[in-house]
Amino acid sequence: MQNTGIIITGSGSAVPAACLENSAMTALVDTSDEWITTRTGIKKRRIASEKESLSGLAAVASLQAIAMAGITAQDIDLILLATSTPDDLYGSACKVQAALGANRAVAFDLTAACSGFIFGMVTAAQYVNTGVFKNVLVIGADIHSRWVNWQDRTTCVLFGDGAGAVVMQASSSNNLLGFELRSDGSQNHYLNLGYTQESQQLTKDITVGKGNYQHVTMNGKEVYRFAAQKVPEVIDKALFRANISVENVDWLLLHQANQRILDTVAQRLGIPDHKVISNLANYGNTSAASIPLALDEAVRAGKIKNNHIIAASGFGAGLTWGAAIFKWGK
């Protein structure tokens, strides 16, 4: 009988070498360490250099996850890269595939901004549940330093760069216990990295829009309001689908956007602080990378152990949000 359950068996992460602390931000914008810390919880963030690439960070994280899972790159059937900031608009998953030597794997990008990793896990699960693939590599990676306005203190202080990955494998048991995904395009305008165009006339009758992208724009107040309301709701729904009470959750693992959001969501769910995973202070908002990056750190630190139940939730541009309840390990 074919195994169509799912276990999550390996994790990995990678960040750029350069570290930009809050104190250095004062030379760029009108801000202070106290202003940033009290409003966000962020103390520093990693920033990719001109020579570093998203696919490079993703490959390093992936190799770690593959090694922890005890398989080889040749065993990978599918590579799913969740990112909003690829090296190439046509996608970067295939570059990661080549870097890993995973030449058996199908590879493609998925874009759901800061919800991307959760959406990626759930998408990957469908391929395993239906018996199509056995070993799936799910990556969350973003380099937002390329796209923020370094003169806008409302956004540039928030973002950092990084990558994280997990290996999901077919098994007779199923450790992806429940999930819920949501989208609301009517609120799309609250968080954007929008296309902008410059008119270019080709002929007397034909004018095209020569493409570029504007900087990241965000209505922070509305995004906070959205997250504080919707994230507890979607986690509750996922817990219901998993038939698990909140008291049985070992760890709350949220997208690392803002410490105030983490605190509010935990409070509304009745989850104590010691069960909340947070590395926001050291990395800032790494978008699709934030959940797997925090997960990998907690696993390697020995905090997350085999069979621990994790309630994970991502939320962000789209607007998109979702939650997945899963057990860690084999």
For strand 191-192 and strand 217-218, is the pairing parallel, antiparallel, or unpaired?
A: antiparallel
- The owner of tokens 């990676």 is 141
User: Residues 164, 120: contact at Cβ < 8 Å?
Assistant: no
Q: Kindly report the number of other CB atoms within 10 A of residue 245's CB atom.
A: 9
Catalytic member of 94, 144, 255, 258: 255
Known catalytic residue: 114?
yes
Q: Is 255 a catalytic residue?
A: yes
Catalytic residue among 114, 135, 156, 258: 114
285 is catalytic: yes
Which one from 22, 258, 282, 285 is the annotated catalytic residue?
Answer: 285
Active site residues: 114, 255, 285
